[in-house]
Structure 1
Amino acid sequence: MEQRPPKIPESVLVVIHTEALDVLLIERADAPGFWQSVTGSKDTPDESFEATAVREVAEETGLDTGAPGHRLQDWHLENVYTIYPQWLHRYAAGVTHNTEHLFGLRVPAGVSIRLAPREHTAAVWLPWREAAERCFSPSNAEAILMLPAFSVKT
């Protein structure tokens, strides 16, 4: 089995939503019952957060952030959190915290999602408050609760 290099402790969180503020949540394949927005680490230290967001959205949902009617927005916010113990083995020895950069992605209602089956097993669209309640991650829930302030109707 090929060993992967340690994950970079810099990642993105992308809250995918419609204009009506329905939010896409996806269930982790490696942690049933753990619902979240799109997340993912940089592939290289010099990869921009925006490039990471574009790549992770495509990998996890099949969505193209540049498609007509799609609008990726950098919220210019970061969370620093303690990495969950069950995922520490993915990082270099001694790494205990991750810095997560927040984005929103507005998409048209009814857009088709194509999950990466190794990463996620189910997807659901929920009104933003309900989506925040379902998230296992407090920082993800907090980001969803901020959605109305960041949602732009253009």
Structure 2
Amino acid sequence: MSAAFKQPVSVLVVIHTPALEVLLLERAESTGLWQSVTGSREGDEHLADTALREVAEETGIQASAAALHDWQLANRFLIMQRWRKRYAPGVTQNTEHVFSLCLPAPQPVRLAPDEHTAARWVPWQEAAQAVFSWTNRDAIHLVARRLQAS
């Protein structure tokens, strides 16, 4: 796969607090599209390293590998038509690996302006309703269910 194209392998990182406040980011090129941290793997990077890199790039949060939870869940989905040009010709599906990161409390973030224009911390129920992708919605529900059960 050429370095000019994104790999169709990515991470989704639900950043939340113990009280299940979830950080959402609004996409720069699509006003009204809210999401958790996402991003494609680069080279042969370990997925946990991809997750930590994307969290740092998109929010400025420097997290440790120990704070990251790998849910051992991968979702496969069709890449939206408007984003397919970022991938090699003929690539239409992406495999997204789910992670979460628990922070003690909501904190200010430093956005990457080319990727996101706004951030907000909201209760998990509101976050699950606000995100535009089913994989993100399901990941938020998974994190909330598991944390409420423990």
| TM-score where L is the length of structure 1 | 0.91
Task: Identify the residue that residue 34 of structure 1 maps to in structure 2.
Answer: 33
Contact 1:128/1:144 (CA < 8 Å) preserved in 2?
yes
Task: Identify the residue that residue 87 of structure 2 maps to in structure 1.
Answer: 91
* Aligned positions of 1:49-128 closer than 5 A: 49-66=47-64, 71-128=67-124
Letter in 2 for 1:63: I
- Quick one: structure 1 residues 152 and 76, their matched pair in 2 at CA, closer, same or farther if it must change by over 3 Å? farther
Unaligned stretches of 5+ residues in structure 1: none
What CA distance in whole angstroms lies between the structure 2 residues aligned with 1:116 and 1:23? 18
What CA distance in whole angstroms lies between the structure 1 residues aligned with 2:75 and 2:146? 16
Say which SS state the counterpart of residue 145 (structure 2) adopts: helix
What CA distance in whole angstroms lies between the structure 2 residues aligned with 1:113 and 1:150? 26
- Superposed CA offset, 1:58-117 (max 9, x none): 0000001129xx821001000000000000000000000000000000012132211111
Give how far 1:150 is off.
Answer: 3.7
Q: Percent identity?
A: 54
What CA distance in whole angstroms lies between the structure 2 residues aligned with 1:47 and 1:110? 28
What CA distance in whole angstroms lies between the structure 1 residues aligned with 2:88 and 2:64? 33
Q: How many residues align?
A: 148
Letter in 1 for 2:52: V
Unaligned stretches of 5+ residues in structure 2: none
- Superposed CA offset, 1:28-78 (max 9, x none): 00111000000000111x1110000000000000001129xx821001000
RMSD: 1.9
Letter in 1 for 2:35: Q
Contact 1:19/1:153 (CA < 8 Å) preserved in 2?
no
Contact 2:17/2:103 (CA < 8 Å) preserved in 1?
yes
